[in-house]
Amino acid sequence: MDKFIEFITNTGNFPSPKAVIALGVFDGVHPGHRKVMETAATLAGETGAVAGAVTFIPHPRQVLGNPDEIKLLMPEADRIANLQKAGAEFVCKINFSKEIAAWDAKEFLEELVNCGLFQLTGICVGSNWRFGKNGSGNRKVLEKFCRERNIRFIPVEEVEDHGSIVSSTLLRKLTAAGMLEEFKRIYGDYPKLSGIVRSGMHAAGKDLNAPTANLELQYGVMVPDGVYAGYSEVDGTRYPAVLNIGFAPTYGVKKKRIETHLIGFSGNLYDRDLTVTLVKKLRDICKFDSVEMLKKQIVRDVDAAKKAVTEI
């Protein structure tokens, strides 16, 4: 088995061997996750400890189910960066596996306490967080375990929005439904799609004067088919973007694609990582009677995308 737990990053100098950790998967680092991390950072400050986050890689549901069943909301590097913004002085990962999934709750906690990376003095989790074999570990199990070992334990109540618990699952549902403004209102930013740029059919550059990056999706949830306004940052520069998500009926293409035209960008993006933020749906996908008609519509789409990105 791989090492149970290891550092991903350490941004502090560890002035104290004592550590308070926020424990969870933290996919998306949504407001509920941030609240857990901020609580851990506050407790660490009060007790002379350092604050850290302990996350799980890969996602437990990817190990225990179909790896394609769940799309993570963000890449690992973004998860780490967002945890640091919320107060993590270091981030560790648990190398999750089926073997670890078979441990009961107490066995998991003993491994965590005795991992040798830090002296654990505090644990913060979401109040409804479950862990251990068949989800046997819960708030009561953690309270008892921590009390017996003189470890501070703080269960952090979930963040609610209009009666719904803010969760990664909720954010995935909002994205899949195309509810971009609702996502932003809850999360604080628009949803993102991240992946690798692959070679496409080249028609956009050759016929339409609007070259596109064909994004092979790795992170983020696919929105309903349509033409969207968004933006992407490449080499430190932010470019407005028009995205065609779905088919290309004018060309008879029946395979779903994420084709992204970065307005004003000139260069080669093949095999590079690209993250695109979705801001607004501009229109549905439709079949045009001619390429010339499509070209005229793309000009209108570009203008609309620039306006949408400027207004946010």
What's residue 69's pLDDT? 74
What's residue 250's pLDDT? 73
What's residue 208's pLDDT? 63
pTM over 0.75: yes
What's residue 205's pLDDT? 47
What's residue 230's pLDDT? 98
What's residue 202's pLDDT? 53
Q: Which segments of 149-252 are extended strands (E)?
A: 152-156, 160-161, 164-165, 192-198, 213-219, 226-234, 237-248
129 vs 285: CA distance, rounded Å? 41
Low-confidence ranges of the chain (pLDDT < 50): 205
pLDDT mean across residues, the chain: 92
What's residue 247's pLDDT? 85
